[in-house]
Structure 1
Amino acid sequence: MYDTLISSEARIGQNVRLGACVRIYGNVEIGDDCQIGDFCVIGHPTARADSAPLRLGADANIRSHAVIYEGSDIGPKLETGHHVVIREGSMIGENLRLGNFSDIEGTCKIGDFVRMHGYAHVGKHSIIGDFVWLFSLTTLMNDPLPPSHLEAPVEIGDMATVCVNAQLMPGTRIGRGAFVAAGATAQGDIPAGVIVTGPDSEIAGPVRFMMHMQTRTRHPWPRHFTDAYPEHVRDRITALAADIETEAADAAQFD
Protein backbone atom coordinates (compact mmCIF):
# COMPACT_ATOMS: atom_id res chain seq x y z
CA MET A 1 0.00 0.00 0.00
CA TYR A 2 1.32 3.44 -0.95
CA ASP A 3 1.08 6.50 1.28
CA THR A 4 0.89 10.20 0.62
CA LEU A 5 4.41 11.64 0.88
CA ILE A 6 4.88 15.32 1.73
CA SER A 7 8.32 16.87 2.11
CA SER A 8 8.85 18.75 5.35
CA GLU A 9 10.30 21.58 3.24
CA ALA A 10 7.14 22.15 1.21
CA ARG A 11 5.19 25.29 2.07
CA ILE A 12 1.49 24.48 2.06
CA GLY A 13 -1.32 26.95 2.69
CA GLN A 14 -4.52 26.65 4.68
CA ASN A 15 -7.30 24.19 3.90
CA VAL A 16 -5.38 22.21 1.26
CA ARG A 17 -7.06 18.84 0.62
CA LEU A 18 -5.04 15.87 -0.62
CA GLY A 19 -6.15 12.60 -2.16
CA ALA A 20 -4.50 9.22 -1.77
CA CYS A 21 -0.88 8.58 -2.78
CA VAL A 22 0.01 12.22 -3.47
CA ARG A 23 3.72 13.13 -3.66
CA ILE A 24 4.70 16.72 -2.80
CA TYR A 25 8.39 17.59 -3.11
CA GLY A 26 10.17 20.23 -1.06
CA ASN A 27 10.64 22.95 -3.68
CA VAL A 28 6.95 23.83 -3.65
CA GLU A 29 4.67 26.63 -2.45
CA ILE A 30 0.95 25.79 -2.47
CA GLY A 31 -1.69 28.45 -1.90
CA ASP A 32 -4.77 28.20 0.29
CA ASP A 33 -7.86 26.11 -0.49
CA CYS A 34 -6.29 23.86 -3.11
CA GLN A 35 -7.56 20.37 -3.87
CA ILE A 36 -5.08 17.78 -5.17
CA GLY A 37 -6.43 14.45 -6.35
CA ASP A 38 -5.15 10.88 -6.05
CA PHE A 39 -1.70 9.91 -7.40
CA CYS A 40 -0.60 13.46 -8.23
CA VAL A 41 3.05 14.56 -8.20
CA ILE A 42 3.58 18.19 -7.24
CA GLY A 43 6.99 19.83 -7.65
CA HIS A 44 8.60 16.99 -9.61
CA PRO A 45 12.36 17.68 -9.64
CA THR A 46 14.11 18.89 -12.79
CA ALA A 47 17.69 18.33 -13.91
CA ARG A 48 18.63 21.80 -12.62
CA ALA A 49 20.08 21.94 -9.13
CA ASP A 50 19.09 25.63 -8.82
CA SER A 51 15.53 25.35 -10.09
CA ALA A 52 13.04 27.90 -8.79
CA PRO A 53 10.16 26.61 -6.68
CA LEU A 54 6.82 25.62 -8.06
CA ARG A 55 4.40 28.32 -6.95
CA LEU A 56 0.82 27.08 -7.15
CA GLY A 57 -1.84 29.73 -6.58
CA ALA A 58 -4.85 29.47 -4.33
CA ASP A 59 -8.04 27.55 -5.12
CA ALA A 60 -6.46 25.08 -7.55
CA ASN A 61 -8.31 21.89 -8.40
CA ILE A 62 -5.80 19.31 -9.65
CA ARG A 63 -7.36 16.01 -10.61
CA SER A 64 -5.83 12.57 -10.33
CA HIS A 65 -2.53 11.52 -11.93
CA ALA A 66 -1.37 15.05 -12.73
CA VAL A 67 2.37 15.79 -12.70
CA ILE A 68 3.51 19.39 -12.19
CA TYR A 69 7.24 20.08 -12.18
CA GLU A 70 9.12 22.53 -9.99
CA GLY A 71 10.11 25.89 -11.45
CA SER A 72 6.74 27.20 -12.69
CA ASP A 73 4.65 30.08 -11.37
CA ILE A 74 0.93 29.29 -11.67
CA GLY A 75 -1.81 31.78 -10.84
CA PRO A 76 -4.95 31.14 -8.80
CA LYS A 77 -7.76 28.76 -9.70
CA LEU A 78 -5.85 26.30 -11.87
CA GLU A 79 -8.21 23.51 -12.95
CA THR A 80 -6.88 20.32 -14.51
CA GLY A 81 -8.34 17.14 -15.86
CA HIS A 82 -6.75 13.75 -15.24
CA HIS A 83 -3.26 12.70 -16.39
CA VAL A 84 -1.98 16.17 -17.29
CA VAL A 85 1.64 17.35 -17.26
CA ILE A 86 3.01 20.86 -16.71
CA ARG A 87 6.77 21.03 -17.19
CA GLU A 88 9.17 23.46 -15.55
CA GLY A 89 9.75 27.14 -16.18
CA SER A 90 6.25 28.23 -17.22
CA MET A 91 4.47 31.43 -16.22
CA ILE A 92 0.72 30.79 -16.10
CA GLY A 93 -2.00 33.29 -15.27
CA GLU A 94 -5.36 33.05 -13.54
CA ASN A 95 -7.76 30.12 -13.98
CA LEU A 96 -6.09 27.99 -16.63
CA ARG A 97 -8.30 25.00 -17.44
CA LEU A 98 -6.25 22.09 -18.75
CA GLY A 99 -8.15 19.07 -20.08
CA ASN A 100 -7.45 15.36 -19.64
CA PHE A 101 -4.13 14.08 -21.04
CA SER A 102 -2.94 17.54 -22.06
CA ASP A 103 0.64 18.70 -21.63
CA ILE A 104 2.53 21.97 -21.39
CA GLU A 105 6.14 21.27 -22.30
CA GLY A 106 7.80 23.96 -20.23
CA THR A 107 9.19 27.48 -20.38
CA CYS A 108 5.84 28.68 -21.72
CA LYS A 109 4.02 31.92 -21.05
CA ILE A 110 0.25 31.51 -20.72
CA GLY A 111 -2.19 34.31 -19.93
CA ASP A 112 -5.37 34.50 -17.87
CA PHE A 113 -8.49 32.37 -18.38
CA VAL A 114 -7.01 30.13 -21.05
CA ARG A 115 -9.03 27.01 -21.91
CA MET A 116 -7.33 23.85 -23.21
CA HIS A 117 -9.46 20.80 -23.87
CA GLY A 118 -8.26 17.19 -23.75
CA TYR A 119 -5.09 16.02 -25.50
CA ALA A 120 -3.83 19.52 -26.27
CA HIS A 121 -0.05 19.68 -26.70
CA VAL A 122 1.75 22.96 -26.05
CA GLY A 123 5.34 22.92 -27.26
CA LYS A 124 8.21 24.41 -25.30
CA HIS A 125 8.52 28.23 -25.24
CA SER A 126 4.99 28.77 -26.59
CA ILE A 127 3.38 32.12 -25.80
CA ILE A 128 -0.40 32.17 -25.32
CA GLY A 129 -2.41 35.32 -24.58
CA ASP A 130 -5.47 35.90 -22.41
CA PHE A 131 -8.87 34.23 -23.00
CA VAL A 132 -7.51 31.82 -25.62
CA TRP A 133 -9.30 28.57 -26.50
CA LEU A 134 -7.42 25.43 -27.56
CA PHE A 135 -9.82 22.59 -28.32
CA SER A 136 -9.07 18.86 -28.24
CA LEU A 137 -6.08 17.44 -30.11
CA THR A 138 -4.57 20.81 -30.99
CA THR A 139 -0.79 20.81 -31.33
CA LEU A 140 1.60 23.74 -30.93
CA MET A 141 4.91 22.72 -32.52
CA ASN A 142 8.31 24.30 -31.98
CA ASP A 143 10.94 22.40 -34.00
CA PRO A 144 11.18 23.52 -37.67
CA LEU A 145 13.41 20.61 -38.68
CA PRO A 146 12.67 17.70 -36.34
CA PRO A 147 14.54 16.26 -34.67
CA SER A 148 16.92 19.16 -34.08
CA HIS A 149 18.06 21.71 -31.51
CA LEU A 150 16.28 24.48 -33.44
CA GLU A 151 13.39 26.28 -31.78
CA ALA A 152 10.62 28.31 -33.38
CA PRO A 153 7.80 28.44 -30.82
CA VAL A 154 4.20 29.34 -31.55
CA GLU A 155 2.61 32.60 -30.38
CA ILE A 156 -1.16 32.95 -29.96
CA GLY A 157 -2.79 36.34 -29.41
CA ASP A 158 -5.55 37.19 -26.96
CA MET A 159 -9.01 35.69 -27.54
CA ALA A 160 -7.93 33.46 -30.43
CA THR A 161 -9.78 30.17 -30.93
CA VAL A 162 -8.02 27.02 -32.17
CA CYS A 163 -10.50 24.26 -33.00
CA VAL A 164 -10.34 20.46 -32.80
CA ASN A 165 -7.27 18.77 -34.32
CA ALA A 166 -5.75 21.99 -35.63
CA GLN A 167 -1.98 22.00 -36.10
CA LEU A 168 0.09 25.15 -35.49
CA MET A 169 3.40 24.85 -37.29
CA PRO A 170 6.70 26.03 -35.76
CA GLY A 171 7.04 29.80 -35.68
CA THR A 172 3.34 30.48 -36.33
CA ARG A 173 1.97 33.70 -34.89
CA ILE A 174 -1.81 33.78 -34.49
CA GLY A 175 -3.28 37.27 -34.34
CA ARG A 176 -5.67 38.36 -31.63
CA GLY A 177 -9.20 37.09 -32.04
CA ALA A 178 -8.36 34.81 -34.98
CA PHE A 179 -10.21 31.52 -35.53
CA VAL A 180 -8.34 28.39 -36.66
CA ALA A 181 -10.91 25.93 -37.98
CA ALA A 182 -11.09 22.23 -37.09
CA GLY A 183 -8.39 20.21 -38.81
CA ALA A 184 -6.64 23.26 -40.23
CA THR A 185 -2.89 23.74 -40.42
CA ALA A 186 -1.79 27.25 -39.53
CA GLN A 187 1.63 28.64 -40.38
CA GLY A 188 3.29 32.01 -40.74
CA ASP A 189 1.75 35.26 -39.51
CA ILE A 190 -2.03 35.07 -39.15
CA PRO A 191 -3.73 38.50 -38.95
CA ALA A 192 -6.09 39.49 -36.16
CA GLY A 193 -9.73 38.51 -36.46
CA VAL A 194 -9.56 36.16 -39.46
CA ILE A 195 -10.62 32.55 -40.13
CA VAL A 196 -7.94 30.02 -41.05
CA THR A 197 -9.04 26.82 -42.84
CA GLY A 198 -7.60 23.80 -44.63
CA PRO A 199 -4.13 22.28 -44.85
CA ASP A 200 -2.54 25.35 -46.50
CA SER A 201 -3.39 28.01 -43.91
CA GLU A 202 -5.99 29.63 -46.16
CA ILE A 203 -7.52 32.88 -44.90
CA ALA A 204 -11.25 32.39 -45.47
CA GLY A 205 -12.46 35.80 -44.32
CA PRO A 206 -13.13 37.77 -41.13
CA VAL A 207 -14.40 36.11 -37.97
CA ARG A 208 -17.21 38.69 -37.73
CA PHE A 209 -18.89 37.03 -40.75
CA MET A 210 -19.26 33.69 -38.92
CA MET A 211 -22.77 32.72 -37.81
CA HIS A 212 -24.62 29.62 -36.60
CA MET A 213 -27.54 29.87 -38.99
CA GLN A 214 -30.12 27.94 -36.96
CA THR A 215 -29.79 30.19 -33.89
CA ARG A 216 -28.36 33.33 -35.57
CA THR A 217 -25.52 33.24 -33.02
CA ARG A 218 -22.58 35.29 -34.27
CA HIS A 219 -18.85 35.45 -33.65
CA PRO A 220 -16.61 36.76 -32.17
CA TRP A 221 -17.41 34.66 -29.13
CA PRO A 222 -17.64 37.53 -26.59
CA ARG A 223 -20.89 38.47 -28.30
CA HIS A 224 -22.55 35.33 -26.93
CA PHE A 225 -20.30 33.70 -24.34
CA THR A 226 -19.04 36.31 -21.86
CA ASP A 227 -21.49 35.08 -19.24
CA ALA A 228 -19.44 31.85 -18.93
CA TYR A 229 -16.66 33.82 -17.22
CA PRO A 230 -16.53 35.23 -13.70
CA GLU A 231 -18.26 38.56 -13.30
CA HIS A 232 -15.05 40.37 -12.34
CA VAL A 233 -13.54 39.86 -15.83
CA ARG A 234 -16.58 40.45 -18.05
CA ASP A 235 -15.89 44.15 -18.56
CA ARG A 236 -12.30 43.27 -19.40
CA ILE A 237 -13.51 40.78 -22.03
CA THR A 238 -15.88 43.31 -23.58
CA ALA A 239 -13.21 46.01 -23.79
CA LEU A 240 -10.60 43.63 -25.22
CA ALA A 241 -13.05 42.26 -27.80
CA ALA A 242 -13.89 45.79 -28.98
CA ASP A 243 -10.19 46.60 -29.27
CA ILE A 244 -9.54 43.46 -31.33
CA GLU A 245 -12.47 44.14 -33.67
CA THR A 246 -11.11 47.63 -34.32
CA GLU A 247 -7.63 46.21 -34.97
CA ALA A 248 -9.01 43.62 -37.39
CA ALA A 249 -11.14 46.20 -39.25
CA ASP A 250 -8.18 48.58 -39.60
CA ALA A 251 -5.98 45.79 -40.94
CA ALA A 252 -8.65 44.78 -43.48
CA GLN A 253 -8.59 48.25 -45.04
CA PHE A 254 -5.04 47.62 -46.22
CA ASP A 255 -5.60 44.14 -47.73
Structure 2
Amino acid sequence: MESSLIDPAAKIGRNVTFGHGVRVYGNVEIGDDCRIGDFSVIGHPSAQPDTAQPLRLGAGATIRSHAVLYEGSDIGPALETGHHVVIREQSMIGENLRLGNFSDIEGACRIGDFVRMHGYAHVGRNATVGDFVWLFSLTTLMNDPLPPSHLSDPVTIGDMATVCVNAQLMPGVHVGRGSFIASGASAHGIIPPGVIVTGPDGEIAGPVRFMMHMQSRTRHPWPRHFTDAYPTRVHDRITRLAAEIEAEAAAAAQND
Protein backbone atom coordinates (compact mmCIF):
# COMPACT_ATOMS: atom_id res chain seq x y z
CA MET A 1 0.00 0.00 0.00
CA GLU A 2 2.83 2.43 0.84
CA SER A 3 4.22 2.21 -2.70
CA SER A 4 0.81 2.61 -4.35
CA LEU A 5 -0.72 5.86 -5.60
CA ILE A 6 -4.38 6.08 -4.57
CA ASP A 7 -6.29 9.21 -5.57
CA PRO A 8 -8.17 10.49 -2.49
CA ALA A 9 -11.25 11.06 -4.68
CA ALA A 10 -11.59 7.31 -5.33
CA LYS A 11 -14.41 5.57 -3.46
CA ILE A 12 -13.00 2.42 -1.91
CA GLY A 13 -15.01 -0.17 0.01
CA ARG A 14 -14.11 -2.16 3.08
CA ASN A 15 -11.35 -4.77 3.25
CA VAL A 16 -9.77 -3.77 -0.06
CA THR A 17 -6.08 -4.63 -0.38
CA PHE A 18 -3.51 -3.21 -2.80
CA GLY A 19 -0.20 -4.69 -3.94
CA HIS A 20 2.95 -2.76 -4.72
CA GLY A 21 2.95 -0.02 -7.33
CA VAL A 22 -0.83 0.13 -7.85
CA ARG A 23 -2.30 3.28 -9.41
CA VAL A 24 -5.94 4.10 -8.60
CA TYR A 25 -7.40 7.17 -10.31
CA GLY A 26 -10.12 9.32 -8.78
CA ASN A 27 -12.95 8.35 -11.13
CA VAL A 28 -13.29 4.92 -9.50
CA GLU A 29 -15.68 3.09 -7.18
CA ILE A 30 -14.30 -0.16 -5.73
CA GLY A 31 -16.58 -2.56 -3.85
CA ASP A 32 -15.82 -4.41 -0.64
CA ASP A 33 -13.33 -7.27 -0.30
CA CYS A 34 -11.39 -6.65 -3.50
CA ARG A 35 -7.73 -7.58 -3.99
CA ILE A 36 -5.70 -5.49 -6.44
CA GLY A 37 -2.39 -7.02 -7.53
CA ASP A 38 1.00 -5.40 -8.02
CA PHE A 39 1.46 -2.70 -10.66
CA SER A 40 -2.19 -2.65 -11.70
CA VAL A 41 -3.90 0.50 -12.99
CA ILE A 42 -7.50 1.02 -11.90
CA GLY A 43 -9.54 3.73 -13.61
CA HIS A 44 -7.09 4.56 -16.41
CA PRO A 45 -8.34 7.74 -18.14
CA SER A 46 -10.51 7.18 -21.18
CA ALA A 47 -9.46 8.31 -24.64
CA GLN A 48 -12.77 10.23 -24.64
CA PRO A 49 -12.55 12.19 -21.38
CA ASP A 50 -15.58 14.37 -22.11
CA THR A 51 -17.88 11.35 -21.89
CA ALA A 52 -16.02 9.43 -19.19
CA GLN A 53 -18.02 7.80 -16.39
CA PRO A 54 -16.65 6.20 -13.23
CA LEU A 55 -15.20 2.73 -13.24
CA ARG A 56 -17.44 0.69 -10.95
CA LEU A 57 -15.74 -2.47 -9.75
CA GLY A 58 -18.03 -4.88 -7.92
CA ALA A 59 -17.32 -6.53 -4.60
CA GLY A 60 -15.03 -9.51 -4.24
CA ALA A 61 -12.82 -8.87 -7.27
CA THR A 62 -9.39 -10.46 -7.61
CA ILE A 63 -7.22 -8.38 -9.94
CA ARG A 64 -3.82 -9.94 -10.57
CA SER A 65 -0.65 -8.04 -11.37
CA HIS A 66 -0.24 -5.61 -14.27
CA ALA A 67 -3.96 -5.39 -15.07
CA VAL A 68 -5.29 -2.17 -16.62
CA LEU A 69 -8.97 -1.30 -16.10
CA TYR A 70 -10.16 1.90 -17.78
CA GLU A 71 -12.68 4.32 -16.32
CA GLY A 72 -16.24 4.20 -17.61
CA SER A 73 -16.99 0.48 -17.25
CA ASP A 74 -19.45 -1.20 -14.89
CA ILE A 75 -18.10 -4.55 -13.68
CA GLY A 76 -20.20 -6.92 -11.60
CA PRO A 77 -19.13 -8.78 -8.48
CA ALA A 78 -16.41 -11.42 -8.23
CA LEU A 79 -14.35 -10.43 -11.27
CA GLU A 80 -11.23 -12.58 -11.46
CA THR A 81 -8.38 -11.70 -13.80
CA GLY A 82 -5.10 -13.23 -14.75
CA HIS A 83 -1.97 -11.13 -15.24
CA HIS A 84 -1.53 -8.40 -17.87
CA VAL A 85 -5.20 -8.05 -18.83
CA VAL A 86 -6.91 -4.94 -20.24
CA ILE A 87 -10.57 -3.89 -19.95
CA ARG A 88 -11.29 -0.74 -21.93
CA GLU A 89 -13.94 1.90 -21.24
CA GLN A 90 -17.74 1.74 -21.56
CA SER A 91 -18.08 -2.00 -21.05
CA MET A 92 -20.90 -3.60 -19.05
CA ILE A 93 -19.75 -6.83 -17.42
CA GLY A 94 -21.84 -9.23 -15.36
CA GLU A 95 -21.08 -11.41 -12.37
CA ASN A 96 -17.90 -13.49 -11.99
CA LEU A 97 -16.13 -12.91 -15.29
CA ARG A 98 -12.86 -14.85 -15.34
CA LEU A 99 -10.39 -13.23 -17.71
CA GLY A 100 -7.18 -15.14 -18.45
CA ASN A 101 -3.61 -13.86 -18.74
CA PHE A 102 -2.89 -11.35 -21.52
CA SER A 103 -6.55 -11.12 -22.59
CA ASP A 104 -8.20 -7.86 -23.60
CA ILE A 105 -11.73 -6.48 -23.85
CA GLU A 106 -11.55 -3.54 -26.21
CA GLY A 107 -14.36 -1.39 -24.87
CA ALA A 108 -18.10 -0.76 -25.24
CA CYS A 109 -18.70 -4.50 -24.85
CA ARG A 110 -21.57 -6.30 -23.14
CA ILE A 111 -20.43 -9.37 -21.23
CA GLY A 112 -22.92 -11.59 -19.39
CA ASP A 113 -22.70 -13.50 -16.12
CA PHE A 114 -20.21 -16.30 -15.41
CA VAL A 115 -18.28 -15.88 -18.65
CA ARG A 116 -14.93 -17.67 -18.91
CA MET A 117 -12.18 -16.28 -21.14
CA HIS A 118 -8.88 -18.13 -21.17
CA GLY A 119 -5.48 -16.58 -21.90
CA TYR A 120 -4.80 -14.39 -24.93
CA ALA A 121 -8.48 -13.96 -25.83
CA HIS A 122 -9.22 -10.78 -27.79
CA VAL A 123 -12.71 -9.27 -27.65
CA GLY A 124 -13.18 -6.55 -30.25
CA ARG A 125 -15.00 -3.34 -29.48
CA ASN A 126 -18.82 -3.40 -29.17
CA ALA A 127 -19.00 -7.20 -28.90
CA THR A 128 -21.87 -8.84 -27.03
CA VAL A 129 -21.19 -12.05 -25.10
CA GLY A 130 -24.05 -13.87 -23.34
CA ASP A 131 -24.22 -15.70 -20.02
CA PHE A 132 -22.13 -18.83 -19.30
CA VAL A 133 -20.07 -18.45 -22.48
CA TRP A 134 -16.62 -20.08 -22.79
CA LEU A 135 -13.87 -18.46 -24.87
CA PHE A 136 -10.74 -20.60 -24.87
CA SER A 137 -7.17 -19.46 -25.48
CA LEU A 138 -6.29 -17.39 -28.54
CA THR A 139 -9.89 -16.81 -29.62
CA THR A 140 -10.40 -13.58 -31.56
CA LEU A 141 -13.64 -11.61 -31.85
CA MET A 142 -13.21 -9.21 -34.77
CA ASN A 143 -15.21 -6.09 -35.61
CA ASP A 144 -13.72 -4.38 -38.69
CA PRO A 145 -15.05 -5.85 -41.98
CA LEU A 146 -12.49 -3.95 -44.11
CA PRO A 147 -9.39 -3.39 -41.98
CA PRO A 148 -8.13 -0.84 -41.43
CA SER A 149 -11.27 1.29 -41.57
CA HIS A 150 -13.76 3.19 -39.43
CA LEU A 151 -16.37 0.49 -40.05
CA SER A 152 -17.69 -1.58 -37.17
CA ASP A 153 -19.63 -4.83 -37.36
CA PRO A 154 -19.24 -6.42 -33.92
CA VAL A 155 -19.62 -10.04 -32.89
CA THR A 156 -22.59 -11.38 -30.91
CA ILE A 157 -22.32 -14.65 -28.96
CA GLY A 158 -25.40 -16.24 -27.42
CA ASP A 159 -25.71 -17.79 -23.97
CA MET A 160 -23.80 -21.00 -23.24
CA ALA A 161 -21.86 -20.98 -26.50
CA THR A 162 -18.35 -22.46 -26.53
CA VAL A 163 -15.53 -21.04 -28.66
CA CYS A 164 -12.47 -23.30 -28.73
CA VAL A 165 -8.75 -22.61 -29.02
CA ASN A 166 -7.58 -20.36 -31.86
CA ALA A 167 -11.05 -19.88 -33.34
CA GLN A 168 -11.78 -16.69 -35.25
CA LEU A 169 -15.15 -14.99 -35.07
CA MET A 170 -15.45 -12.79 -38.12
CA PRO A 171 -17.03 -9.32 -38.08
CA GLY A 172 -20.80 -9.41 -37.72
CA VAL A 173 -21.12 -13.09 -36.83
CA HIS A 174 -24.07 -14.03 -34.62
CA VAL A 175 -23.32 -17.25 -32.74
CA GLY A 176 -26.52 -18.96 -31.63
CA ARG A 177 -27.07 -19.97 -28.05
CA GLY A 178 -25.39 -23.21 -27.06
CA SER A 179 -23.38 -23.54 -30.27
CA PHE A 180 -19.84 -24.93 -30.37
CA ILE A 181 -17.10 -23.29 -32.45
CA ALA A 182 -14.34 -25.86 -32.91
CA SER A 183 -10.61 -25.18 -32.57
CA GLY A 184 -9.22 -23.27 -35.53
CA ALA A 185 -12.64 -22.61 -37.03
CA SER A 186 -13.57 -19.35 -38.73
CA ALA A 187 -17.17 -18.48 -37.88
CA HIS A 188 -19.21 -16.04 -39.95
CA GLY A 189 -22.79 -15.09 -40.73
CA ILE A 190 -25.78 -16.27 -38.69
CA ILE A 191 -25.07 -19.48 -36.79
CA PRO A 192 -28.15 -21.34 -35.52
CA PRO A 193 -28.45 -22.41 -31.88
CA GLY A 194 -26.96 -25.69 -30.73
CA VAL A 195 -24.74 -26.51 -33.71
CA ILE A 196 -21.06 -27.35 -34.27
CA VAL A 197 -18.99 -25.08 -36.53
CA THR A 198 -15.70 -26.39 -37.94
CA GLY A 199 -12.91 -25.48 -40.32
CA PRO A 200 -11.71 -22.33 -42.08
CA ASP A 201 -14.97 -22.05 -44.04
CA GLY A 202 -17.13 -22.22 -40.92
CA GLU A 203 -19.09 -25.29 -41.98
CA ILE A 204 -21.93 -26.52 -39.77
CA ALA A 205 -21.05 -30.12 -38.92
CA GLY A 206 -24.19 -31.10 -37.03
CA PRO A 207 -25.93 -30.60 -33.69
CA VAL A 208 -23.99 -30.20 -30.45
CA ARG A 209 -26.05 -32.95 -28.82
CA PHE A 210 -24.25 -35.51 -31.02
CA MET A 211 -20.84 -34.65 -29.52
CA MET A 212 -19.44 -37.31 -27.21
CA HIS A 213 -16.08 -38.25 -25.69
CA MET A 214 -15.88 -41.90 -26.67
CA GLN A 215 -13.76 -43.22 -23.79
CA SER A 216 -15.83 -41.67 -21.01
CA ARG A 217 -19.16 -41.55 -22.89
CA THR A 218 -19.49 -37.94 -21.70
CA ARG A 219 -21.86 -35.99 -23.92
CA HIS A 220 -22.54 -32.39 -24.78
CA PRO A 221 -24.22 -29.96 -24.24
CA TRP A 222 -21.87 -29.28 -21.33
CA PRO A 223 -24.58 -28.55 -18.68
CA ARG A 224 -25.21 -32.31 -18.68
CA HIS A 225 -21.86 -32.93 -17.00
CA PHE A 226 -20.22 -29.65 -15.94
CA THR A 227 -22.73 -27.73 -13.83
CA ASP A 228 -20.66 -28.44 -10.71
CA ALA A 229 -18.05 -25.96 -12.02
CA TYR A 230 -20.39 -23.16 -10.94
CA PRO A 231 -21.83 -22.08 -7.58
CA THR A 232 -24.72 -24.21 -6.36
CA ARG A 233 -27.03 -21.19 -6.29
CA VAL A 234 -26.95 -20.94 -10.11
CA HIS A 235 -27.43 -24.65 -10.93
CA ASP A 236 -31.17 -24.26 -11.43
CA ARG A 237 -30.57 -21.26 -13.67
CA ILE A 238 -28.15 -23.30 -15.79
CA THR A 239 -30.59 -26.20 -16.05
CA ARG A 240 -33.46 -23.95 -17.14
CA LEU A 241 -31.32 -22.12 -19.67
CA ALA A 242 -29.95 -25.36 -21.11
CA ALA A 243 -33.49 -26.70 -21.55
CA GLU A 244 -34.53 -23.49 -23.34
CA ILE A 245 -31.56 -23.75 -25.69
CA GLU A 246 -32.15 -27.43 -26.50
CA ALA A 247 -35.78 -26.64 -27.37
CA GLU A 248 -34.70 -23.65 -29.46
CA ALA A 249 -32.11 -25.75 -31.30
CA ALA A 250 -34.65 -28.51 -32.01
CA ALA A 251 -37.14 -25.98 -33.38
CA ALA A 252 -34.47 -24.38 -35.58
CA ALA A 253 -33.44 -27.79 -36.96
CA GLN A 254 -37.05 -28.59 -37.90
CA ASN A 255 -37.35 -25.32 -39.79
CA ASP A 256 -34.25 -25.98 -41.94
Give the alignment's TM-score, normalised by structure 1. 0.99
Other-structure match for 2:191: 190
Whole-Å separation in 1 of the counterparts to 2:195 and 2:171: 20
Match of 2:153 in 1: 152
- Partner deviation per Cα, 1:143-166 (whole Å, 9 max, x = no partner): 000000000000000000000000
d(CA) in 2 for partners of 1:64, 1:202: 40
**CA deviation vs aligned residue, 1:114-169 (integer Å, no higher than 9, x gap):** 00000000000000000000000000000000000000000000000000000000
Identify unmatched segments of 5+ residues in structure 1: none
Equivalent residue of 1:246, what SS? Answer: helix
Aligned partners of 2:199, 2:70: CA distance in 1, in Å?
36
Amino acid at match of 1:167: Q
CA deviation map 1:10-64 (0-9, x unaligned)? 0000000110000000000000000000000000001323410000000000000
With 41-50 and 233-242 compared, the bigger mean Cα shift is at 41-50
Question: What CA distance in whole angstroms lies between the structure 2 residues aligned with 1:41 and 1:84?
Answer: 10
Task: Give the equivalent residue in structure 2 for 1:57.
Answer: 58
Quote the Cα distance in structure 2 between the aligned partners of 1:50 and 1:87. Answer: 14
Identity of aligned residues (%): 78
The residue that corresponds to 1:98 in the other structure is: 99
Inter-CA distance 251–50: structure 2 relative to 1 (3 Å threshold): closer
Aligned to 2:44: 44
Aligned twin of 2:235 = 234
Deviation at 1:254, TM superposition (A): 1.5
Corresponding position of 2:30 = 30
After superposition, what is the alpha-carbon deviation per residue over 1:168-224, rounded to whole angstroms, capped at 9, x for unaligned?
A: 000000000000000000000000000000000100000000000000000000000
Instruction: Give 1:1-255 correspondences, 5 Å limit.
Output: 3-47=3-47, 48-255=49-256
Name the CA distance, whole Å, in 2 between partners of 1:104 and 1:32: 24
Distance 1:234 1:159 in 2: 13
Q: Distance in 1 between matches of 2:253 and 2:142?
A: 28
**In the TM superposition, what is the alpha-carbon distance from 1:3 to its structure 2 partner?**
2.2
Q: State the secondary structure of the residue aligned to 1:29.
A: strand
| Inter-partner Cα distance in structure 2 for 1:106 and 1:80 | 16
Task: State the distance in 1 between where 2:4 and 2:165 align.
Answer: 37
Aligned residues: 254
RMSD: 0.7
- Normalised TM-score (structure 2): 0.98
Is there any run of 5+ residues in structure 2 with no aligned partner, and where?
none
